[in-house]
Chain A
Amino acid sequence: MSSFSRCAACKYLRRKCPQDCILAPYFPSSNPQRFACVHKIFGASNVTKMLQQVPVHLRAEAAECISYEAIARVQDPVYGCVGIITQLQQQIIQIHSEIMKIKGDIITHHSAHPQHQPLPPPQGDPCRSISIHQQEQDNFQSDEHPFGNF
């Protein structure tokens, strides 16, 4: 790549962009802010090392994830991506609790008025939903999940 078409990384670092620049495919000059975030959080040499450790066909995804984490950390310097994980966990607990309340209501209604209608066929088995969710919750806490506890 000539000096007139340097990647965002080499432009930011004010250096020549070689033909085999490892960062060039993933940090095009059209999006300088993305590399700026990545550089601020991880540093260019760390990102280079991280990408070198990954097979070539997975580097684009790795660069995308690294960028995502960097942007999350710039926007939330205290919690970064962990803040998003916490929000999602809370949502899962909240939605599951709502589902259980509704299914409990259906059962209560049916118990009070068994003569009106049979219980509607479950779209999903509530016991299966509970056991799946419990299994997922167990996975959150166990080493079976890639990240163990979080």
Chain B
Amino acid sequence: MSSSSSYNSPCAACKFLRRKCMPGCIFSPYFPPEEPQKFANVHKIFGASNVTKLLNELPPHQREDAVNSLAYEAEARVRDPVYGCVGAISFLQRQVQRLQKELDTANADLVRYACNEIPSSAAIPGSNNPVQPATLRQRVAPLEFGGVGRPIGNEVGGAFYQAPLPPPYPLPYPPLPWSDSFGGDFNGGGGNI
């Protein structure tokens, strides 16, 4: 975090807004003067007063992460005015679905291979069901979808956040209406939240 509310260098927000950068400026720790574009994007998409309200509602130790995620979303929306970062979510959801199918296939292969590999003398006489090794059962259960990730990195501008592997929990949001393309079927502006 850097504070720019000094006599010499107003923060990027106050420079943009052409106002004096006072001590205690809520923006100055998060919008250093060396990154004017970061605030320009955030201001364009969210507006300074909305960002001020959002930050005021958060405890100070969470504000940096909040600003960085807002900056990320703002940049995404500047680059893609239709889909913004929802385009990335859609892309990643498709990747998860594709990999989940691949995992299911790999699990099935492993079961098939392990069953074929067990010598016939180990099977119960008269039974058509081969004995399954206990270790296989760990592989067969598919991974649960969802997880709580709490980013701990705070790199600026296009952030790569790192988090420990989370426990699973269902995603809090309904699935996106897009299927295989960004322009997939959806209901337009009428759905309930």
Interface size on A, residues (CB 8 A): 78
Contact with A along B102-126 (1 / 0, CB 8 A): 1101111110111011010000000
Which of B83, B93, B107, B116 counts the most A-chain CB atoms under 10 A from its CB? B83
> Which of A64, A78, A80, A94 makes the CB contact (< 8 A) with B143?
A94
Answer whether residue A113 sits at the interface, using C-beta atoms and an 8 A cutoff.
yes
> Which of B46, B80, B190 makes the CB contact (< 8 A) with A28?
B190
| Chain A residues positioned under 8 Å from B159 (CB to CB) | 82, 149-150
Answer whether residue A69 sits at the interface, using C-beta atoms and an 8 A cutoff.
yes
Contact flag A85-B92 (CB < 8 Å), given A90-B147, A98-B143: yes
> Which of B73, B103, B108, B186 makes the CB contact (< 8 A) with A61?
B186
| Chain A residues positioned under 8 Å from B105 (CB to CB) | 123-124
Within 8 A of B (CB), among A23-61: 25-28, 30-31, 33-34, 37, 40-43, 45-46, 50, 53-54, 58, 60-61
B151-A87 in contact (CB<8A): no
| Chain A residues positioned under 8 Å from B183 (CB to CB) | 61
A79-B69 in contact (CB<8A): yes
Contact with B along A93-124 (1 / 0, CB 8 A): 01110110011011001100100110110111
Question: In chain B, what residue has the closest Cβ to A105?
Answer: B110
Answer whether residue B95 sits at the interface, using C-beta atoms and an 8 A cutoff.
yes
Answer whether residue A131 sits at the interface, using C-beta atoms and an 8 A cutoff.
no
| Chain B residues positioned under 8 Å from A90 (CB to CB) | 147, 149, 163, 165-166
B89-A81 in contact (CB<8A): yes
Report the separation of the CA atoms of residues A105 and B163 in the bound assembly, to the nearest whole angstrom. Answer: 27
B189-A71 in contact (CB<8A): no
Answer whether residue A134 sits at the interface, using C-beta atoms and an 8 A cutoff.
no
B193-A65 in contact (CB<8A): no
B96-A95 in contact (CB<8A): yes
| Chain B residues positioned under 8 Å from A117 (CB to CB) | 113, 116-117
Instruction: Give A27 Cβ to nearest chain B Cβ, in Å.
Output: 6
Cβ contacts A to B, 29 pairs, < 8 Å: A26-B188, A27-B189, A46-B45, A54-B82, A58-B82, A62-B81, A63-B188, A65-B84, A66-B84, A67-B189, A77-B57, A77-B58, A78-B58, A79-B150, A81-B89, A83-B150, A86-B161, A87-B146, A88-B95, A92-B96, A99-B102, A106-B106, A109-B114, A110-B113, A117-B116, A123-B108, A136-B95, A147-B88, A147-B158
Extra contacts besides A80-B69, A106-B106 (4): CB < 8 Å: A79-B66, A85-B92, A95-B102, A133-B99
